[in-house]
Amino acid sequence: MHILLIGSGGREHAMAWKLAQSDQSSAISVAPGSDAIESEQKVKCVDIASNDFAALANYAKKEAVSFTIVGPEVPLVDGIVDYFQSRGLRILGPSAAAAQLEGSKAFAKDFMQQHNIPTAHYATFTNTDKAIAYIKQHEAPLVIKADGLAAGKGVVVAQTEQIAIDAVTSMLSEQTFGDAGSNVVIEEFLPGEEASFIVLVDGEHSLPFASSQDHKARDEGDSGPNTGGMGAYSPAPVINESIHQQVMNKIVQPTIDAFRNNGTPFVGFLYVGLMIDDNSVAKVVEYNVRLGDPETQPLMMRLDSDFVTLCLATINGQLDQQEISWSKQSALGVVLAAGEYPAGSSRGEIISGILDADALGCKVFHAGSRKEGEQVVTNGGRVLCVTALGDDIRKAKALADKGCDKISWSGMHHRRDIGYRAVARLPTD
């Protein structure tokens, strides 16, 4: 069957690579894709932007695409699923109504409060003075969040009152995030360890993915500004069996049931960003309505099940009849980013060493690169994700780090401590 995948980043590279491994797929079109994605077997890229729903649907009709799958959040929040369905096309993802869970942090917080889903205390503001008054009544650290989509960059973890005040002033009065920051959520800081809990949902049933964890801060030791993610690994040992059950019972199932009861069933990848405290209590830090980037890169390396079968079962509402299996190995991916990221990006710098990293056994997923003649050059903030499997997380990390050491361009930045928490939990040799 012919599958259409929407997106162009490292997550979509990993999804295309995995979809192509299925015996059921004959062709995968990726819109708009990238040069690196197109180099995968069965894959061709089509030059249609992810916000041009009419052109995407026309393409899906003309090419008799069996189903479409969406990588990034923006088209989902903007209603691509509703549009495709109105044209009689099969597509995997949440409706615009369900995608608000990611599209509006205020919606997500109100939703959790209404349905008793554990999360940080919060308040929402449009007025700078009221927001500042609230900050002064509550002790730092506080977390300031732009309501709308901001590519993972609209969150400030404010260690002091002044940083919190500066953040709300910049979002509300100076509109640094445009409309996305015209409404601001201020919430309690949750201490603990983060993990990503992703489930495939068909509206009623769910199938949990293997656990994973990403590193959102730019710099080592989880310091520096927040980014879209600087590296990720799977499994995340912080999610033990009892926390898994707690998350399923107190967070995932109530979320799915609430959408179903509201008449807007959630279909697609439900990504719950968790904070797990010292007492093993898990709370929701954020919801996303799609696969994580870069979590998808190590997850797809570990997925043993046929990805196309899982997608079809989701669209057909038959996830209760599916099982999902994962490699016993661990996987870890390190993002190679522009030195200027997250504030800026790198364009046109020649990248060397990708083939050497491949030769070591790494898989290099591309997020922001392009071909220029025979050269691969930088073309984004996050550029590559060097991903490796290993018998445990330490071995996966060692191989990914070796792969990173082979690759370079002028200004390249990456963290050398991805996975440190999981490594620390391993028994010492």
Contacting positions for ligand AMP (CB under 6 A): 120, 143, 145, 152, 155, 157, 187-190, 194, 216, 226, 273, 275, 285-286
By CB under 6 A, residue 214 contacts ligand GLY = yes
Q: Name which of residues 135 to 154 contact ligand GLY (CB under 6 A).
A: 152
Q: Which is nearer to ligand AMP, 285 or 299 (CB)?
A: 285
Smallest distance from ligand AMP to CB 349, Å: 28
108-112: long-range contacts, CB 8 A cutoff, minimum separation 24? 108/284, 108/286, 108/287, 109/185, 109/187, 111/258, 112/284
The end-to-end CA distance of the chain, in Å, is 48
The residue range among 60-68, 183-191, 289-297, 364-372 that interacts with ligand GLY, by the rule CB under 6 A, is: 289-297
Q: Which is nearer to ligand AMP, 93 or 229 (CB)?
A: 229
By CB under 6 A, residue 298 contacts ligand GLY = no
- Which positions ≥6 away from 153 have C-beta within 8 Å? 225, 226, 227, 228, 342
Q: Which is nearer to ligand AMP, 65 or 157 (CB)?
A: 157
Phi, psi of 49 (to 5 degrees): -70, 150
Q: Which of 7, 71, 203, 292 binds ligand GLY (CB under 6 A)?
A: 292
Smallest distance from ligand AMP to CB 179, Å: 17
Site string for ligand GLY, 78-117 (x = CB under 6 A): ----------------------------------------
Q: Are 243 and 280 in contact (CB under 8 A)?
A: yes
Q: Rounded distance, CA 350 to CA 376, Å?
A: 6
**DSSP per-residue codes, 135-188:** HHHSPSPEEEEESS--TT-SEEEESSHHHHHHHHIIIIIS-TTGGGGSSEEEEE
Q: Rounded distance, CA 112 to CA 259, Å?
A: 12
Number of residues that bind ligand GLY (CB under 6 A): 7
Q: Which is nearer to ligand AMP, 102 or 401 (CB)?
A: 102
Task: Give the CA count within 13 Å in the CB-facing half-sphere of 85.
Answer: 13
By CB under 6 A, residue 295 contacts ligand GLY = yes
Q: Are 42 and 20 in contact (CB under 8 A)?
A: yes
Smallest distance from ligand AMP to CB 51, Å: 22
Q: Which does 229 bind (CB under 5 to 8 A by kind): ligand AMP, ligand GLY, none?
A: ligand GLY
**Number of other residues whose CB lies within 10 A of the CB of residue 244:** 15
Q: Which is nearer to ligand GLY, 59 or 420 (CB)?
A: 420
Beta-sheet strand order (sheet of 369-372): 346-351, 375-380, 369-372
Q: Which is nearer to ligand AMP, 84 or 287 (CB)?
A: 287
Q: Which residue is nearest to ligand AMP (CB)?
A: 286
Outline where 64-159 has alpha helix (H).
73-77, 80-86, 96-103, 105-114, 128-137
Q: Which does 226 bind (CB under 5 to 8 A by kind): ligand GLY, ligand AMP, none?
A: ligand AMP
Q: Which is nearer to ligand AMP, 91 or 275 (CB)?
A: 275
Query: Is 268 in a helix, a strand, or coil?
Result: strand
By CB under 6 A, residue 381 contacts ligand GLY = no
- Chain residues that interact with ligand GLY, rule: CB under 6 A: 152, 214, 229, 288, 292-293, 295
